[in-house]
Amino acid sequence: MSSASTPIGTPRPEQQAQKNGVKKEVKILMIHGYTQSGALFRAKTRAMEKLLAKTLAPISLLPVLSYPTGPNRLLPTDIPGFKSQGGDAPSSADELPDTWGWFRKDDATNSYRLFDEGMAVIADSIREAGGIDGVCGFSQGGAMAAFVASALEPSRTVLDGPKGDWARKLREANGGQPVKFAISYSGFYAGIPDLEWLYEPKIKTPTLHYIGSLDTVVDESRSQALVDRCEEPLVVVHPGGHHVPVSKEWVMPLAGFIKNHASATE
């Protein structure tokens, strides 16, 4: 037995915490989807949050979820499926819907506008949380979760110059530490040349991917393309559409995944 091994009879950290009545916090950054906000995402996943806490309590893990809001406010005309009903346009920011995004696709240049601004908010949120253990996102947020996990991997070489500044800021915010896991609901692969370094080599961070078999917003092939760019991904297919399934049947795989990776020895 090496000197670093735990002596026989010595409780593991989570066992000792349970014995002492102390719960180990698992800090998870929750990244909302396009046209949502942090508050709306939390409202939609509140049932999942409660069930997750209840399921992890017996092993003394306490999920602490933070829900930032993207910095890019969306106009009604930016929302997919928008149909004008006539009448006057909103005259002030107070009249705009509470809809936000992390970046905007520029088809003409095959790039993401306002991407660095979105990542700056993520870095601030990580710093405010005192660092994070995991990241979870829905739709555009699922793509962001993969970006964050990949950029925080110490073995990955960040681009030189301004194109890599956002990643260096993320690493600084998380104390140079990678996340232990990443979760994507209806996430997708971003075929943007400036971001290919995040997928090559494949993302090593443990990933869990939820895909809705009836999702008509993010095509399954786009989600599968993200799965294909992760090492040993875990995939759960649910019989629903473009949403986060929050019933017990679909939260249990999530709880098991977090348990396996959050309680790992540092």
Reported as a single tens digit per residue, the pLDDT across 126-159 is: 999 999 999 999 999 999 999 999 999 999 999 9
Q: For residues 184 and 146, is the Cβ–Cβ distance under 8 A?
A: yes
- H helices present in 136-247, as ranges: 140-151, 165-173, 220-227
Q: Taking the model in full, what pTM does it have?
A: 0.88
- Segment holding 56, helix H or strand E: helix 38-56
Rounded distance between C-alpha atoms, residue 34 and residue 72, angstroms: 10
Tokens 């930016």 sit on residue: 78
Please say whether the beta carbons of 160 and 154 come within 8 A. no
Strands 181-185 and 207-212: parallel
Question: Does residue 24 lie in a domain region?
Answer: yes
Residues for the chain: how many in total? Answer: 266
Number of domains in the chain: 1
CATH number reported for the structural domain that contains residue 250 in this entry: 3.40.50.1820
In a domain, 26, yes or no: yes
Domain that holds residue 102: 20-75+97-262
Tens of pLDDT, residues 70-111: 999 998 888 776 555 555 555 445 668 899 999 999 999 999
